[in-house]
Amino acid sequence: MLKKIVECLPQTDCQMCGMTCADFAGFLLSGDLTTAECPVLQEPAYAEKAAALQELLASLARRAKSGHLIDVSRCNGCGICVIVCEYNLANSAACRLGKGPAADEKVALRVVNGQVVLADENLCTRLLQAADKCSKCQDHCPTQAIVLV
Ligand code: SF4
Ligand code: SF4
Ligand code: SF4
């Protein structure tokens, strides 16, 4: 994600913001700086990049606490993410058998009406992992419908 943000910046490393473009991108990602603080980006020549960056940052604002950014328009409801999910596997007997979880099973991910939903973002194991965070749902999704940011 950081790389995508850098790509939307002018990449001049002019340091008018007091740092390099890569460092500035990091502060955009953390929310500590806004695009308005890059004077170069305000120039007409960079209008297209500025618009792309705004769109990218708006999508980031929609991410779940666990980091999931789900594009349901890409989801085909295959359920692969549900049965490979680290939390689901540890807590759902049905998932361990390669099936969708029962209605009364508490799970992080499930498919509802043919599309994936983050049933409970608080159950995602990423929230407890400082490093080597789980990314199985993202890694196994055949349509790139799940992005972890
Ligand atoms: S002012 Fe903008 S273009 Fe210049 S280094 Fe900072 S982020 Fe990059
Ligand atoms: S990141 Fe891991 S634990 Fe969290 S929802 Fe995805 S597969 Fe499940
Ligand atoms: S998010 Fe991906 S893996 Fe999960 S159900 Fe949708 S298409 Fe399948």
In this prediction, residue 60 carries a pLDDT of 82
CATH number of the 2-59 domain? 1.10.15
In this prediction, residue 30 carries a pLDDT of 81
Ligand number nearest to the C-alpha of 95: 2
Nearest CA to ligand 3 atom 2: 141
Q: Which residues of the chain have pLDDT under 70?
A: none
Where, residue-wise, is CATH 3.30.70 in the chain? 68-148
145 Cα: distance to centroid of ligand 3 (angstroms): 6
Cβ 123 under 6 angstroms from ligand 3: no
pTM: 0.73
Sequence-ordered list of residues with C-beta below 8 angstroms from that of 147, at least 6 positions apart, any chain:
1, 68, 69, 70, 71, 138
Whether CATH 3.10.450 fits 68-148 = no
Cβ 19 under 6 angstroms from ligand 3: no
Where, residue-wise, is CATH 1.10.15 in the chain? 2-59
148: which 2 tokens? 């972890």
Closest Cα partner for 37 from 58, 56, 4, 10?
Answer: 10
